[in-house]
Structure 1
Amino acid sequence: MPGLETPDGPKLVDLLVGEKRAQELKSASAMYKSWDLTPRQICDLELLLNGAFSPLRGFMNKADYESVCQVMRLADGTLWPMPITLDVDENFAKSIDIGEKVALRDQEGVVLAVLTVDDIWKPDKSREAEQVFGKDDTFHPAVAYLHNTAGDYYIGGKLEGLQLPVHYDFNDLRYTPQQLRDHFKKMRWTKVVAFQTRNPTHRNHVEAMLRAAKKAEAAILIHPVVGMTKPGDVDYYTRVRVYKAVINRFPTSTAMISLLPLAMRMGGPREAVWHAIIRKNYGATHFIVGRDHAGPGKDSRGNYFYDPLAAMALAKKYADEIGIEIMEAGYLVYVKELDKYVESTEVPAGMDVMNISGTELRARLADGRELPEWFTYPEVAAELRRTYKPRDKQGFTVFFTGLSGSGKSTIANALMAKMMERGDRTVTLLDGDIVRKHLSSELGFSKEDRDLNVLRIGYVAAEISKHGGVAICTPIAPYDDTRKKVRNMVLEQRGAFVLVHVATPLDICEARDRKGLYAAARAGRIKEFTGISDPYEEPADADITLDTTEQTAEELANQLMLHLHEKEGLLA
């Protein structure tokens, strides 16, 4: 039951200006330089503007950034564990001056805020990774983002907010911190325990929340992250439908859902402290921290990035300073004989403990197997089934790579004909030459242009796969890193990805040279030609390797069909 008394919480920093000032800035913004915000920056901006990141008044300047990286405090000594920076490319950084105003726009060009530049600097990203995330290892998603996605320069400064980012989904669940605190007052909830989640909720999660609420005599705030989470996580649309289904499992008027548009960093212990500060700003009095809270998994050596109990320890260390009570989620397991969940340390001797790991859950969803009721609720299983089709019903991409003349297009055409003969999928062939003609006609053959061409093919293939179709792609795709990016693009859209290396030797490809391309490359008339004057990086991660030297295209297409059926499970 909700408790009786608690302080109102910290004063929220309101960065949204009044209507008159907003109109002035909007009129003047046409004269300002503009920066188009990335998805992560939009998440950060929204939480800066609505007060969730109080006491921050804008993107950090260099002094705050360095202090936060080193000692988890702003330059004035205020506790804050995570750098909130506006990263930009070198060209933009060098085009602006200290004191200049910059219009920050969403991806549709709408001005959301104006930043007055205080600082411009080039950070040491390796040092940032070591200080904030514990090691400079790109197996950590935030470190990979830092090195591979974020701009090379940071700009800091105070913000004047014109409007919050626009959302078109679940607007009845999108409370600002002030709105949520007002709602708690209306409900007379003076103790609220917040539950952080980026995953669907199953029976053990509901049990953990109920136990925490009972112990604290508090109401429950299910506060899921719907900004950016770990790559590969369940999409938030599915998760929110799950939360809405589960809320009925709680006693009436003791629990609610509010969505948090946070871009997680998966920063483990530091992130747990960060999450606690954010929940305090939203009006929570208690915060549940679980084992390996916001942990990113294993590093490049196969070891976990963080000790599973480190997040709890650090959050408790700073709980009094934050002004929030940290509650341990515990490790609950299902005991068959008792037909209930209990703490793992309280299992009676000789009784069977049952559990389903995340890996097993994904396998069950892929295979179309049952999700038992002791593990999850029927309504949760139904929502997950709406999103995660059995593997033989999923869309997928067959991505060929190989030298010019290796036989990629011939095998791909044979494969397409066999898939069309089956008639159970829509099939689209994205031939490298045809895509260059219609989609990438302005591109040359530099590495940058080749990568962009392949990424365009990957984007289209991911969309086709997302909607249950089959995309067959036949670019040369000579670079390993680009092929991996395409694989991730498809997997992130819940499609399957099969990399086919057509490993026909160079001398055979050159002997087949029907277009005279190899001869022209040998004569120096074609620059940067793959296999002659430009490298081809053979894939070490190919799902199947084919060679057209001794087998026909039809034989290889049949071999590939068998692979899709027997090995990949993509064909019934």
Structure 2
Amino acid sequence: MVGPTQSNGVVHHTLSRNLPHGGTLNDLIARDAPRKAELLALASTLPSHVLTERQLCDLELLMNGGFSPLDGFMTEATYSSVVENLRLPSGLVFPIPITLDLSAEEIEKSGIKPGAKLALRDFRDDTPLAIITVSDVYKPDRKKEAQLVFGTNDILHPSVHYLEKVAQDFYIGGTLEAISLPAHYDFVELRFTPADLRRQFERLNWTRIVAFQTRNPMHRAHRELTVRAARERSCNVLIHPVVGLTKPGDIDHYTRVRVYKAILPKYPQGMATLSLLPLAMRMGGPREAVWHAIIRKNYGCSHFIVGRDHAGPGKGSNGKDFYGPYDAHDLVEKYKDELDIEVVPFQMVTYLPDTDEYIPENDVPAGVTTLNISGTELRRRLRVGHKIPEWFTYPEVAAILQQSYPPRSKQGFTIFFTGYYNSGSKEIAQALQVSLSQDGGRQTTLLLGETIRSELSAELGYSKSERDRNINRLAFVAGEITKAGGACIAAPIAPYEEAREAARSQITKFGGFFLVHVATPLEACKKRDRHGVYERATRGEIKGFTGIDDPYEVPKKPDLTVDVTKQSISQIVHSIILALEKENYLGER
């Protein structure tokens, strides 16, 4: 049903068109009601693994045929072959390892060993989606994996960071019995399996389809280059954006899909369609481009646009791009005969204001004026509320982006104080709340350390892990307030740098974050202590007290440093207000 074919001595990827939902035999079995009931009953008796978001994306594409010819997570032999040779043991090209990582603790607790069965559950609602029959359990060399697959061990590469900081120590390989595909509640009309999409192409009588991979909003230039690619090769266009995991900091897929839906009518009638791809990207450059080509072939495409620096994650620690601009082109070209899909090089186009048209950069005559807006400039215009010109994007697209990414004067923010107990952070926070509230415009919420401790973290003690958990909870609440456009003032002690930076990372997804170090010296904090707390801690009556028997890590990069022994509360509040105004958070609303 699914597997390789061979013609003229070349092995090709194929996917059966006959399966009703997806591309594996297990999907066909799981759609049979009695068999599905049996699998559900079996899953309820088995140990379970709750899938991470990345694992969930991988499982969906394993079950629906997007990763054909794979029928499960890779065994050690398959993994090693892919990492070292870009091929499955069968000889088929497959460049990215698809692995299921588990901790040693979970493996021991669940009794996972060859021959064992494990239910795989959706992290969102605990629904059993599949049963894996374990073939082997192995400990990978993740540094080797990073170097060979991604060409680097630089932690700034998102997938290297994942391997070093997120992935568990062991991989398990095995075959899958599918119970059901993950449920989706957003844009369900655009979520097609490979078999679904192939049938749609047949209904439309499309035989030549060029796929456009994207994880960013589309503008007029993208529409122009895809139309050119389609016309030059007599193709129709599949806009096939990734809506699984992309690069941290990318625009959310809800906004992007609204943009794609708005731009679709700008194509000539009947030329283009839109379908969503639930892929967890690795940002793996050349190897990822080959992977993307295989996936698009499985979805029924005959052509695939490979972009400049395709799936590149940006710059590494040395300040240079991880991959060359055309490395992806070269690698896909190397394997194109085996992939059985034609590669379409991405042609950068630029705008000519004198003729109001987009043309390839290489075709621009010398001395002709061109215009362009970089991603950085677009984000700046959105941040400050400047108009996005119609020559760059369509008004409908601009309106969607401006709605989802309002200027800073309409965004929420968090002021996060850190300092010793009795440093004055509480008094500054309370005064700042009054100052912001009197100006109006935003709802202002004050989260004092003792409030969070009593209301959200009453069961926690003061070990490092418990302190970190407390700050994680505070950051979650502050992030939700920020996301809603409010102003949040948080005033914990927050003695550890890693927890503070994790809070910054969490909150900056939604708006502004200002770390204020209240650097009042410890001796001054002790003198200000009217309740004798420091004395009790010094006598050993209070354990784990910051500054006495527990450390305080001075922030490495605070946004503002203040000291109540050198400045009045009003002066400090004024300096915070000025910092907010400088970053346009207190502009006209």
Residue 98 of structure 1 corresponds to which residue in structure 2? 114
- 1:507 corresponds to which residue? 523
Give deviations 1:194-246, integer Å, cap 9, x for gaps: 00000000011001100100111000000000011111111111111110110
Shift of 1:9: 4.7
Q: How many Å apart are 1:342 and its aligned residue?
A: 1.7
1:376/1:14 CA distance change after superposition, 3 Å: farther
The answer on whether the counterparts of 2:306 and 2:345 sit within 8 Å (CA) in structure 1 is: yes
> 1:364 is matched with which residue?
381
1:28 aligns with 2:42: yes
8 A Cα contact 1:178 1:282, kept in partner? yes
TM-score by length of 2: 0.93
Q: Does 1:529 align with 2:545?
A: yes
Partner of residue 554, structure 1: 570
| Residue aligned with 2:392, SS | coil
Runs of 4+ aligned residues of structure 1 deviating over 6 Å after TM superposition are none
**Structure 1 residue matching 2:26: 3-state secondary structure:** coil
Aligned to 2:26: 15
**1:475, CA displacement in angstroms?**
1.4
- 2:92 is the counterpart of 1:78: yes
| Equivalent in the alignment of 1:190 | 207
Report the counterpart of residue 434 of structure 2 in structure 1. Answer: 417
Contact kept, 8 Å, 1:269 with 1:315, in 2: the verdict is yes
Match of residue 544 from structure 1: 560
Alignment of 1:149-298 (within 5 A): 149-298=166-315
The aligned counterpart of 1:60 is 74
Structure 1 counterpart of 2:406, from 385, 389, 399: 389
The answer to whether the Cα contact below 8 Å between 2:13 and 2:294 also exists between their aligned partners in 1 is no
CA distance in 2, matches of 1:110, 1:428: 36
Residue identity in the other structure for 2:181: L
- TM-score normalized by the length of structure 1: 0.96
CA 1:382 to 1:14, structure 2 compared with 1: closer, same or farther past 3 Å? farther
- Residue number among 56, 62, 67 corresponding to 1:42 in the alignment: 56
Query: What is aligned with 1:474?
Result: 491
Contact 1:268 1:293 in 2 (8 A): yes
Contact 2:303 2:344 in 1 (8 A): yes
Measure the CA separation in 1 of the matches of 2:191 and 2:161. Answer: 30
Identify the residue that residue 458 of structure 1 maps to in structure 2. 475
3-state DSSP of counterpart to 1:398: strand
The one-letter amino acid paired with 2:147 is: E
The CA RMSD over aligned residues, in Å, is: 1.5
Deviations 1:387-411 (A, max 9, x none): 0111111011111111222111111
Is 1:309 paired with 2:323?
A: no
List per-residue Cα deviations over 1:333-380 (Å, max 9, x = no partner): 112223211222221111122111111110100000010111111111
Report the Cα distance in structure 1 between the residues aligned to 2:326 and 2:241, rounded to whole angstroms: 21
Instruction: State how far apart, in whole Å, the 1-side matches of 2:345 and 2:500 are.
Output: 42
Which residue of structure 2 lines up, in the alignment, with residue 329 of structure 1?
Answer: 346
CA distance in 2, matches of 1:414, 1:128: 52
TM superposition shift of 1:515: 4.0
Matches within 5 A, 1:91-170: 91-95=105-109, 96-107=112-123, 108-170=125-187
CA deviations 1:504-543 (Å, max 9, x no partner) are 1122122223343332333333333322333222222211
**Structure 2: 5+ residue runs without aligned partners?**
1-11, 17-22
Structure 1: segments with no counterpart, 5+ residues: 1-6
1:3 paired residue number: none
SS in 1 for 2:145: helix
In 1, the alpha carbon distance for the partners of 2:541 and 2:216 equals 55
2:7 paired residue number:
none
Answer whether contact 2:209 2:302 (CA < 8 A) is retained.
yes
8 Å Cα contact 1:81/1:270 also seen in 2: yes
Q: Deviation at 1:495?
A: 1.3
1:171-211 Cα deviation digits (max 9, x unpaired): 11000000000000000000000000000000110011001
Select the residue among 376, 382, 405 that pairs with 2:393: 376
Contact 2:13 2:68 in 1 (8 A): no
2-side partners of 1:514 and 1:49: how far apart?
Answer: 64
* Aligned residues of 1:564 and 1:571 also touching (Cα < 8 A): no
Give the corresponding residue for 2:579: 563
Distance between the aligned counterparts of 2:88 and 2:13, measured in 1?
24
CA distance in 2, matches of 1:525, 1:274: 61
